[in-house]
Amino acid sequence: MGNVIIHGETTQNPISLIGEMSGICYGSDTSDPEKNYKRGMDCLNSQHGRTWEMPDVYMTLDGYSARVMREFYTHIGGSPTRMQSSTRYIDYGNFQYFTPPSIEADKVAKDAYESCMYQISEVAKDLQAWGIPKEDVANLYPLGMQTKVVVKINLRTLIDMSHQRMCNRAYHEFRALFSDISTELKKYSSEWETVVTKMFMPKCKFLRHCPEKKSCGYYHG
């Protein structure tokens, strides 16, 4: 499975930062760390979403499929930015790929899946040997190919992402990806542990009802 790395440029104390920045807007004394923390918690509890855009997360997402990264990019709130492993300069002659659990559990399906991936890899090698540029060979590669992405994203976008991607009906690889992000953020600092525990949740818990036409039935009020 994939791997999430939280970089040191990530805001260490997101709650305190929210409290300090919002305190400036309120004309409050921001020299007291305890008051900043309390004010930050008030902003979280009051759903003052604009203040959540202050804390930034810098992370590397490594080993997840190109397909799930494409879905990750749909969360564009707060002007995130990202860079992805190049298919122009990197040689993917023996690329790694994601195998869904449903395929992993079926020997016949797994053999067919792996055979297809092997054939793609072999054809890619042949094309490069014939002088075809890597950037053109890259058109062969499947969405299941693993990739690496460097991301800068803010807390507000992550909270919204949790509402969508912690849902039981979200695609299983994205649920796993978001679980990995949550786990690593909890390790990063005690304030992040508080934020993740308090704010990251599927939308049914946030809304206190499920708005989906095809509910999984998890939320009962």
115 and 65 within one domain: no
Asked whether the predicted pLDDT for residue 215 surpasses 90, the reply is no
Query: What are the backbone dihedrals phi and psi of residue 109, each rounded to the nearest 5 degrees, phi first?
Result: -65, -40
* Bridge partner residues of 154 (DSSP): 56
Starting at the edge strand that comes first in sequence, how are the strands of the sheet with 3-6 ordered? 3-6, 56-65, 146-154, 81-84
Task: Give the integer Cα–Cα distance in Å for 209 and 212.
Answer: 9
Mode of pairing for the β-strands spanning 81-84 and 146-154: antiparallel
78 and 10 within one domain: yes
Task: Give the integer Cα–Cα distance in Å for 171 and 101.
Answer: 12
80 and 24 within one domain: yes
Task: Give the integer Cα–Cα distance in Å for 217 and 198.
Answer: 22
HEC string for 178-217: HHHHHHHHHHHCHHHHHHHHHHCCCHHHHHCCCCCCCCCC
Asked whether the predicted pLDDT for residue 219 surpasses 90, the reply is no
Tokens coding 187: 């390790």
Q: Where does a domain end: 93, 113, 140?
A: 140
Any domain includes 197 = yes
Position 216 confidence tier, pLDDT thresholds 50, 70, 90: confident
pLDDT in tens, 171-212: 999 999 999 999 999 999 999 999 999 999 999 999 989 988
CB 203 within 8 A of CB 211: yes
Position 78 confidence tier, pLDDT thresholds 50, 70, 90: low
Any domain includes 218 = no
Asked whether the predicted pLDDT for residue 107 surpasses 80, the reply is yes
Q: What is the pLDDT of residue 86?
A: 85
Q: Which of 17-26, 79-88, 93-102 has the lowest mean pLDDT?
A: 79-88
The residue type at 18: I
Q: What is the pLDDT of residue 90?
A: 82
Cα dihedral value 209, 212, 218, 221, nearest 10 = 10
Surface-to-core class of residue 205, CB atoms within 10 Å of its CB (0-12 exposed, 13-18 middle, 19+ buried) = middle
122 and 171 within one domain: no
Task: Please list, residue by residue across 98-131, b when 16 or more beta carbons sit within 10 angstroms of its beta carbon and e when fewer do.
Answer: beeeebeeeeeeeeebeeebeebbeebeebbeee
165 and 74 within one domain: yes
CB 33 within 8 A of CB 3: no
Q: What is the pLDDT of residue 94?
A: 84
Any domain includes 43 = yes
Report the CATH number at residue 75.
3.30.1360.170
Task: Give the integer Cα–Cα distance in Å for 179 and 1.
Answer: 12
Asked whether the predicted pLDDT for residue 92 surpasses 70, the reply is yes
Any domain includes 16 = yes
Q: What is the pLDDT of residue 124?
A: 94
Asked whether the predicted pLDDT for residue 111 surpasses 90, the reply is yes
The DSSP code for 139 is G
7: containing domain: 3-85+145-207
Cβ-proximal residues to 94 (8 Å cutoff; 6+ apart), any chain: 121
Query: What are the backbone dihedrals phi and psi of residue 205, each rounded to the nearest 5 degrees, phi first?
Result: -70, -40
